[in-house]
Structure 1
Amino acid sequence: MRISGGLQRETIVPHASVGANEPRPMEILAQRLGRGPFALVMLFVSPAGDLERLPGEAARVFDGVPVIGCTTAGEISDAGYDEGTIVALALPSRYFRVDTLTVSDLTRLDPPALAADLVRRRADMAQRHPELPHEFAMLLVDGLSQKEDELTSALAAGLGATPMLGGSAGDGARFGQTFVLDGERLARDIAVLALVRTQCPIRVFNFDHLIPTETRMVVTEADPRRRIVRQINAEPAAREYARLLGKDPQQLGPFTFAAHPVAVRMGARHHVRAIRQVAENGDLVFFSAIDEGVVLTIAEPADMVDHLGRELARLCRPERPAAILAFDCILRRLEAEQKQVSGHVSDLLRRYGVVGFSTYGEQFGPMHVNQTMTGVAIYPPGTVLAEKVP
């Protein structure tokens, strides 16, 4: 039987993992997480598991506790990068209070109503729990909905200064179907937002190891609704992208996209607009919003292992977090595999106690981004944090 559990500061933020195909995985996870009581349980579920039975079993085993989650493109457990597992993380009621909101139909978003609802919920939580000074919002969304950009913008309007982070559900490397868990159902075309108040100081983070080059290109024809780019520099998109890289268009694939991402400059920082795949007609299909007239910059990755080690070490100042919950883009995992550094990355994730999953995109504030690690570091109560990460 394959089981692992969180060993450090278990009473603050317990976590555990189990093989997705084990008999009664929810019972095993509940045993490993402990008795609680819990304000929230999160499940990051391999699509290789029994998805049909999971919602009912989770509701039965964690009776009375809100349970949210999603399918993954790989998990992050105590083993580091993992696959074929269910990772669970619980927020104990002793330190946390949570209010969950489901957006049931992403194709029919009502941004004003959604923002107004969030304002009311935040005000209510602040009034009911003045003893919990720290707050954040965590979003899980259908990773193939193509609605993340619109959704995060709408949510940000109602969240105000509350920091938001999140991940887009995955389906391994298949890109077939992605699901979000909301209570007793596992569904497509939905999102769930958890509003969290806590005694624990927190840091919400977002980083990548990409360096913009001088190579730029302009999107000259696109289908923004479907996130498709048809032409770059007035040439067929895939062919022009390959030409700029000095590659054969027939060789383009996920490893190429991970090694040579394209980014958009916003303010002082570049944000990746990751390519998902090449369509049969030579169009480029993206993971996030794209439009005509956008200037894309080709980026090159720095050393992933060195960069990840530095960033995780910074999160441990002045004190090691009780937990680090991370949403890590599938393209980072693919790059690590291609460069044969997955073991080194896993060692770092394990050493620093990172748990979470590999995503089809990340949410950070009002933005849907790609090829980043985005998450929240949760510190023991009483930890004094600098305003900026040292």
Structure 2
Amino acid sequence: MDELHARIVATVSIDVTDETDPGSKLVEALGDTPFACVIVLASPDVDLEAFTANLQGKINAPHILGARTAGEICDEGYSENKIVALGFPQTHFAASARMFEAIDDPDEVARGRDVLALRHAAQAQRQDFENEFAFLLVDGMSRREDAFVLNISTALGSTQLFGGSSGDGLRFESAPVFYNGLIRNNAAIVLIVRSNCRFKVFREDHFEPSDKRLVVTGAIPELRLVTEINAEPAAPEYARIVGIDPNQLSPFIFASHPIVVSVGDQHHVRAIQRVEENGHLRFFASIDEGMVLTVANASSITDHLQSVLEKLSEEHEPELIFACDCILRRLEAEQKQEIINMSAQLKKHRVIGFSTYGEQHNMLHVNQTLTGIAIYPPAYE
């Protein structure tokens, strides 16, 4: 559907296969409402140069930020070839934002100072808005998400952060982010939002560690490459442990046989992106020699999604759930023929968002999770 869905947060979904000028369509749909910020999530088939140029000066918002996706989530559930936009009106939200270019820049002090300035700027706009969250968009091909989110965590203090790594479908070629007309690779956008609305930031996955262990005995951490597992070539050893022919390794297999690293009583997925021609495994997140990994067992992905969304609605129904959903979850749902059921749950609970190359939650970069925010009406409404 292309029309504007206007509750507290306005949402728009545009099918780019039907539109020769999706930028003008988005401008028309959003109208002249004064927004604190607009987040735009665009299919990799969209010409970003033409599209973003057509938005400048035409949407009533000081911050227009977005990313290329690995798939979209709209009012139909899982979808593709869409532009999905969320408009946060000034009646309920105040925002400040900044694009950080060259995120491999080692000046962590300056970066933290800039994030603090963003927080102060948002607070100064509406001191009567007591609730604050941070949203991060970052180039999913940069291999710097782990370091960047850790760098800014101190400056964020108690402000909860969620976010997603931009995507490029399953091509893995270029995953830029964009802000107020600038389109950049190797960049990140930090958005600070103040609101009188209540919200809940969440991160969920449907895995439990098994007793199948893998020890990384060879790695190139800066490239997120694993060369050896258990002192054997990485790809064949992973295939042996999960019981798969090495020649059948694919994104669908990685989605169905994830591996996790355990920290205390918590676990975090370290998802595999692809097999390189030399048999090395490239990961979506940081990896290093000596790391002990465990193959995880998956519960029903649809039942888990239903449980998560119902829990978010236990006390009050959210006005909107904005989700960063790992592309590997979609691939798993496709392989298990659960896409229709998953989409029905996403539609029922008004989930809007995109499929990502990774997710950020507070100080962590994670994989194969459903991460996001549920936004509720103000207490007085």
Report % sequence identity.
Answer: 44
Matched, 1:165 2:162: yes
1:279: Cα distance to partner?
Answer: 0.6
Residues 251, 383 of structure 1: alpha-carbon distance in 2 compared, 3 angstrom cutoff: farther
Instruction: After the TM superposition, list the runs of 4 or more consecutive aligned residues in structure 1 that deviate by more than 6 angstroms.
Output: none
SS in 2 for 1:358: strand
Q: Tell me the TM-score normalised to structure 1 length.
A: 0.95
Equivalent residue, structure 2, for 1:234 = 231
Matched, 1:12 2:8: yes
1:266 to 263, 268, 283: 263
Could you tell me how far apart the structure 2 residues matched to 1:85 and 1:290 are?
A: 33
Given the alignment of the two structures, is residue 375 of structure 1 paired with residue 376 of structure 2, yes or no? no
Q: Give the TM-score normalised by structure 2.
A: 0.97
Q: Distance in 2 between matches of 1:267 and 1:14?
A: 40
Aligned residue runs from structure 1 range 346-361, under 5 A: 346-361=343-358
* Alignment counterpart, residue 251 of structure 1, candidates 248, 251, 259: 248
In the alignment, is the contact (CA less than 8 A) between 2:97 and 2:118 conserved in 1? Answer: no
Post-superposition offset of 1:4: 4.7
2:317 equivalent in structure 1: 320
Partner of 1:197: 194
Structure 1 residue 124 displacement after superposition: 4.2
Structure 1 contact 16–32 (Cα < 8 Å) conserved: yes
Query: Contact conserved, 2:34 with 2:60, CA < 8 A, in 1?
Result: no
Which residue in the other structure is 2:307 paired with?
Answer: 310
Shift of 1:335: 0.3
Aligned residues of 1:20 and 1:50 also touching (Cα < 8 A): no
2: CA distance, partners of 1:275 / 1:256: 10
Q: Following TM superposition, by how much is the alpha carbon of 1:168 offset from its aligned partner in structure 2, in angstroms?
A: 0.3
Q: Hey, what's the Cα distance between the residues in 2 that align with 1:322 and 1:334? A: 28
Partners of 2:291 and 2:71 in 1: how far apart?
31
Q: Which structure 2 segments of 5+ residues have no match? A: none
| Secondary structure in 2 matching 1:29 | helix
2: CA distance between counterparts of 1:367 and 1:29? 33
Distance, in Å, in 2 between the alignment partners of 1:126 and 1:35 is: 24
CA gap of 1:278–1:117, structure 2 versus 1, over 3 A, is same
Cα distance, 1:217 vs. partner? 1.1
CA contact (8 A) 2:138 2:166 kept: yes
Residues of 2 paired with 1:312 and 1:39: CA distance?
27
Task: Using the TM superposition, name which of 227-236 and 48-57 deviates more.
Answer: 48-57
Q: What is the alpha-carbon distance in structure 2 between the residues aligned to residue 281 and residue 273 of structure 1? A: 20
Q: How many residues align?
A: 380
* Conserved? CA contact 1:138–1:164, under 8 Å: yes
Equivalent in 118, 142, 146 of residue 145 of structure 1: 142
Distance (Å, rounded) in 2 between the aligned partners of 1:275 and 1:121: 34
Give the RMSD, CA atoms, in angstroms: 1.4
Structure 1 unaligned segments of length 5 or more: list them: 385-390
Cα 1:172/1:31, change in 2 over 3 Å:
same
Counterpart Cα distance in 1 of 2:369 and 2:206: 8
What secondary structure does 1:62 align onto? coil
Alignment of 1:182-193 (within 5 A): 182-193=179-190
Is the Cα–Cα contact under 8 Å of residues 204 and 375 in structure 1 kept in the other structure? yes
TM-aligned CA deviation for residue 65 of structure 1: 3.1
Give, in angstroms, the shift of residue 128 of structure 1: 4.3
Q: Is the 8 A contact 1:44 1:88 kept in 2?
A: yes
Q: Which moved more, 1:204-213 or 1:122-131?
A: 122-131
